[in-house]
Amino acid sequence: MRVSKLEGSPIPGPVRANSAGPYRVAHDDDAVWRPRTRAYGGSEEETPYTRALAYARIAARLALPVLLLFTLLQAIYLFTDAPVPQAWLPGFAQGQFLILSDLILPGCWLVIHLTNRRFGPDYAFGNLVAGMALALVVAVIDPWDVRTSLPDQASLSTRAVAAFVLVFAAANFTGVIFFDAAQGPRWWTAPLVGSVAASFFFSGLYYPLAFGRLCFEALTHFALFLGVSPVLMLPYFLLRPTMKPMSGMNGY
């Protein structure tokens, strides 16, 4: 067993014969790639089992957020043709065609924000993609025969549906980015900025893509979203103790 001239103590483990001097002490593990032990804590090499555990952990964390987002998307579809009672609206919005789906839509921002706060932007993007994918699959398969049970449901054009899917994804993507950038010492800054960004993006793009024009309804909807977004700060505030950021996330 060789003795290091630097420390004067035995060096454990096998040493290759071609080691040259105290500065070239080499062990068997040094020749293995990927190394059996890693620097900074010596974490184990990734295996199919550890990868499966990691994927299962991600799925478990996203299960509830995805289910909530899926439920809100289904509610948006079900209330597509249900007008908002005029008594609920301020004067400038009365007479406009506002539907209950417009009131539900900012709730999707809230679900994404809470996921972002708890797990970070990568999980928030995953929540968005998985929730939309599940909603689209159910809409295509229609396992509960929703279309026949709702004979008065307004039929949306293919262009309007495609515009909603595209703009909804882009608006939430924008909201995630703004939320992540606006985190700071004031707890309400990030969710409010993220909601305003998502609302502006959705209102500004949906109507031109769905109907080929930027009408006054877009401004009305944006004003409605701005009114609902501060109200959603209350459930966000109440859920903050439950949705504490994980280690390494911004703690606000």
- Cβ atoms within 10 Å of 177's Cβ, excluding its own: 17
Give how far Cα 117 sits from Cα of 12, 243, 246, 247, Å: 46, 7, 8, 11
Same domain, 36 and 71: no
**Residue 247 placed within a domain:** no
pLDDT digits (tens, 9 = 90+) for 109-163: 999 999 999 999 999 999 999 999 999 888 888 766 666 655 455 556 788 889 9
Q: Is 245 inside any structural domain? A: no
| One domain, residues 129 and 31 | no
Separation CA 250–CA 164 (nearest Å): 31
Same domain, 37 and 145: no
Same domain? For 31 and 123 the reply is no
Cα atoms in the 13 Å half-sphere on the side-chain side of 73: 26
The CATH number assigned to the domain holding 162 equals 1.10.1760
Q: How far from 48 is each of 38, 51, 86, 87, CA to CA, in Å? A: 18, 5, 58, 58
141, 176: one domain: yes
143 and 103 in a common domain: yes
Please tell me which of 7-21, 132-146, 160-174 the model is most confident about, judged by mean pLDDT: 160-174
As a whole number of angstroms, the distance between CA 133 and CA 168 comes to 12
Whether residues 39 and 82 fall in one domain = no
Residue 2 within a domain: no
Do 137 and 170 have their domain in common? yes
The CA-atom distances, in angstroms, between 187 and each of 76, 234, 241, 244 are 28, 12, 12, 12
- 33 with 62, same domain: the answer is no
3-state SS, residue 201: helix
| Least confident stretch, 67-71, 77-81, 128-132, 197-201 | 77-81
Number of domains making up the chain: 2
- Start-to-end Cα distance in the chain: 54
6 is a domain residue: no
Is the preceding peptide bond at 213 cis, omega within 30 degrees of 0? no
Lowest mean pLDDT among 23-37, 56-70, 194-208, 219-233: 23-37
CA distance 110 to 192: 10
**Is 91 inside a domain boundary?**
yes
Report the predicted TM-score, pTM, of the whole model to 2 decimal places.
0.76
Same domain, 123 and 225: yes
What is the spatial distance between Cα 46 and Cα 108, in angstroms, rounded to a whole number? 35
Residue 219, domain member (yes or no): yes
Yes or no: say if 110 and 191 are a contact pair by the CB < 8 Å rule: yes
Q: In which domain, by residue range, is 26 found?
A: 13-45
For residues 77 and 145, membership in a common domain is answered with yes
Q: Do 31 and 79 fall within a single domain?
A: no
